[in-house]
Amino acid sequence: MLNERCESRSPAVIVSTCNRFEIYWWGDAPWEEWLTELATRRGIELPAEAIIRRSGLAAARHLFAVAAGLESQIVGETEVLGQVRRAWEVSREAECTSRELDLVFAGALGAGRRVRRHSFAGRHPASVGSVAVDIARAERGGSLDDSRIVVLGSGQAARTVIAALLDREGLGFTVVSRHPDRAASLAVAGRVEIVPWDGLPNALTTADLVFAATGASRPVVSREQLVRALGASRPMTVLDLGVPRNVDPTARDLPGVTLLDLDDLRRRGCPAGAPRSNALRDAEDLLADETERLARRLRALSASARLARLHRIGEELARVEAERAIEELGLTTESEREIVRQSSRRLIRKILYRASQAIQDQEPSAAQGETLGETTA
């Protein structure tokens, strides 16, 4: 997508994960219009209220919070930091960044690492998948050893679940996927069975623990499927990790079914993310410091660019005026001409020194602050 659009639009980075699609850009190109057109071409209804626009340091502050895991479904998860890094790398490979945008994303990665080193986030699970597996184990009496486990999906979210399950030595499970070839790369001999998607009904009938983690835009497990799959005396625990939901929410009231979604995981897996949490406020204070640091760096970069232009103009002005003076004075020796040239350059540099100090000390104007844009859909 970036290769198609970068040449005619401003530098940009697209951060796309299982539960977010965000565009960060530098300049004034209409990326929101492009996003709406893209959604329309792909048959996706994207109402105006689904698009959130941020500008200036507010956009940077949001990116910093994303990289730190404060905007994740499970507050403090670390996987998103790598996702932000990869998004930036893709944009750089496509030659679609700028010095300013690179500075913003370098700052975001630094902010994410700092929050994890010095706040509660560093003590929290590494992914949504690890939280889901831990909660499933608690639901099932502290052990998954005798559980018949099914994972739906083989994309990003499912991979975090699979990795967490594989960390439990000796645990076997089934992966149901629309992309068996991709799922096969996740398999460990003797521990993971790969089943194509049309095998979902049969897989559910053998399961008592299901992790639904597909990227589908609508529920892939219906209430009726769960009713048919339930055994006479076999309760089933279902963890729905999809955004939007993978499992029909009305299945929550089925006897014998415990259905937990991402909101449940957030409440159980991250008490530090609760309102009025001191730990969360500490993390936000760190991000405020990092945002101010970015503002100073952007100001210095902006000042540097303006000073370079100003000095180029000044040097050219000194040259033109020196040659005019040499001609008007009728100077014939090279030593006399060089004295005039040096005097002209010294005069311009003294004038530019004061101007440079004023530019370096100047706070960024509102217009400069609006140069960074971000859209979340």
Distances (CA, A) of 176 to 132, 201, 206: 18, 10, 13
Contact 150, 102 (CB under 8 A): no
**Residue among 60, 149, 153 nearest 101 (CA):** 60
- Phi/psi for 277 (5° steps) reads -70, 125
The residue count for the chain: 377
Q: Measure CA 175 to chain center.
A: 27
| Closest CA relative to residue 31, chosen from 59, 53, 48, 62 | 53
Closest CA to 219 of 242, 192, 253, 185: 242
Run of H or E including 64: helix 57-68
- Single out the catalytic residue among 6, 18, 96, 270: 18
Q: H or E stretch including 116? A: helix 99-118
Amino acid identity of residue 114, one-letter, is R
Does residue 18 have an active-site annotation?
yes
Cα 42 versus chain centre, distance: 22
Distance CA 80, CA 113 (A): 11
Q: Is 205 helix (H, G, I), strand (E, B) or coil?
A: helix
DSSP character at residue 247: B
Among 208, 235, 142, 216, CA closest to 177: 216
Q: Is there a contact between 124 and 74 (Cβ–Cβ < 8 Å)?
A: yes
Structure-block tokens of residue 37: 């057109």
Dihedral of CA 324/328/333/338: which sign?
Answer: negative
User: Which residues are marked as active site?
Assistant: 18
